[in-house]
């Protein structure tokens, strides 16, 4: 940004050439990271309000870039999707998440984000099956998260993948619920196990009574359809209390913990068990 002396900043949009070059560079760096194991998984706890206990962790990818520092998934997953590299990256995520979760005690599950292109790739069930087999993690302890954007692509292929994955015993959650394309008819015909209520609905809870009504409506709908509910982005106790009151089963968010690395996850589990 350049200061013009009148209290104004001018931002220069990089030219299309520069953008294209940056994308190409990032694509090459992604390929290197895939080849050399350059990604890491962080984990964030999912807590059951209903049972008052830790249920699972969501695996969230991190890319510690050798020169650029930590790159957030929001900044490279879209490019990975466009280039198709997401299929390989996502396969690593599933393997690593299952491997880590297999070392956790009890019946703690792991939730893994699967992007549309990966979910609709021909061998998704094979990848999941082999990750479960080589890690020894029971299928019932793996949950896959897909977003509503899956509905704009091939409905038949999506249903096929959903059914073959659920046949393995894996659970499927609909991520970012309420922000995208889903209609009530989709909810009836797609066998989801859980709705993850987007954090935008949670943010307004303490100011806005209509936000309560939305949460209540979603939990009532989910109950009727036999689906679980989880609220994302819970940042304080007041929000958690309202969610409990409105019938939401599970919560996730900074109030419980930020995403933490694998070692800190082990320590978190130890601490929770000690309480």
List of residues contacting Ca ion (CB under 5 A): 113, 145, 175-176, 232
| C-alpha span between 184 and 113 (Å, rounded) | 23
CB atoms within 10 A of CB 57: 28
User: Can you name the residues that pair with 109 across neighbouring β-strands?
Assistant: 56
Nearer to ligand C2E, 141 or 196 (CB): 196
| C-alpha span between 127 and 133 (Å, rounded) | 10
Nearer to Ca ion, 91 or 148 (CB): 148
Q: Which residue's beta carbon is nearest to the bound ligand C2E?
A: 253
115 binds ligand C2E (CB under 6 A): yes
Nearer to ligand C2E, 234 or 248 (CB): 234
Site string for ligand C2E, 42-81 (x = CB under 6 A): --x---------------xx----------xxx--x----
Q: How far is the CB of 147 from Ca ion (least distance, A)?
A: 7
Give the DSSP per-residue string, 141-203: GEEEEEEGGGGGS-HHHHHHHHHHHHHHT-EEEEEEETSSS--HHHHHHS--SEEEE-HHHHH
Contact partner at residue 215 from ligand C2E, Ca ion, none, CB < 5 to 8 Å by partner kind: none
Site residue total, ligand C2E (CB under 6 A): 20
116 binds ligand C2E (CB under 6 A): no
Q: Which of these segments, 125-133, 204-212, 232-240, 266-274, binds ligand C2E (CB under 6 A)?
A: 232-240
161 binds ligand C2E (CB under 6 A): no
183, 202, 206, 249 from 179: Cα distances, Å = 11, 12, 20, 20
Nearer to ligand C2E, 3 or 254 (CB): 254
Q: Which of these segments, 6-14, 98-106, 231-239, 267-275, binds ligand C2E (CB under 6 A)?
A: 231-239
Let me know: does 228 contact 246? Beta carbons within 8 Å.
no
Torsion, CA 209, CA 50, CA 217, CA 158, rounded to 10: 130
Q: Which of these segments, 28-36, 134-142, 253-261, 263-271, binds ligand C2E (CB under 6 A)?
A: 253-261
Nearer to ligand C2E, 60 or 170 (CB): 60
Q: How far is the CB of 9 from Ca ion (least distance, A)?
A: 29
Cβ within 8 Å of residue 103, ≥6 positions away: 266
Q: 266-273: long-range contacts at Cβ-Cβ below 8 A with a sequence spacing of 24 or more? A: 266/103, 266/104, 268/45, 269/54, 269/104, 269/105, 269/108, 272/53, 272/54, 273/105
| C-alpha span between 138 and 5 (Å, rounded) | 63
Q: Which of 211, 114, 267 is nearest to 219 (CA)?
A: 211
Nearer to ligand C2E, 211 or 259 (CB): 259
259 binds ligand C2E (CB under 6 A): yes
193 binds ligand C2E (CB under 6 A): no
Binding site for ligand C2E (CB under 6 A): 44, 60-61, 72-74, 77, 90, 93, 113, 115, 175-176, 199, 233-235, 253-254, 259
């Amino acid at each position: 940004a350049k200061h013009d002396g009148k209290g104004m900043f001018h931002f220069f949009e990089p030219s299309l050439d520069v953008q294209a070059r940056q994308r190409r560079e990032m694509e090459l760096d992604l390929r290197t990271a895939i080849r050399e194991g350059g990604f890491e998984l962080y984990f964030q706890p999912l807590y059951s309000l209903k049972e008052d206990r830790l249920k699972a962790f969501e695996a969230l990818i991190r890319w510690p870039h050798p020169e650029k520092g930590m790159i957030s998934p929001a900044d490279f997953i879209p490019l990975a999707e466009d280039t198709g590299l997401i299929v390989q990256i996502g396969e690593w995520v599933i393997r690593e998440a299952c491997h880590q979760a297999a070392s956790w005690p009890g019946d703690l599950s792991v939730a893994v984000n699967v992007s549309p292109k990966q979910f609709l790739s021909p061998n998704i069930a094979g990848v999941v099956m082999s990750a479960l087999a080589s890690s020894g993690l029971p299928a019932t302890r793996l949950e896959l998260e897909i977003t509503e954007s899956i509905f704009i692509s091939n409905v038949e292929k999506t249903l096929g993948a959903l059914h073959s994955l659920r046949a393995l015993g894996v659970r499927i959650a609909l991520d970012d619920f309420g922000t995208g394309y889903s209609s009530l008819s989709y909810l009836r015909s797609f066998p989801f196990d859980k709705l993850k209520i987007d954090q935008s609905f949670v943010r307004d809870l303490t100011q806005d009574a209509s936000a309560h009504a939305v949460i209540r409506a979603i939990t009532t709908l989910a109950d009727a359809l036999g689906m679980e509910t989880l609220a994302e982005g819970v940042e304080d106790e007041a929000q958690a209390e309202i969610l409990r009151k409105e019938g939401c089963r599970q919560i996730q968010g900074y109030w419980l913990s930020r995403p933490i690395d694998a070692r800190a996850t082990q320590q978190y589990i130890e601490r929770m068990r000690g309480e």
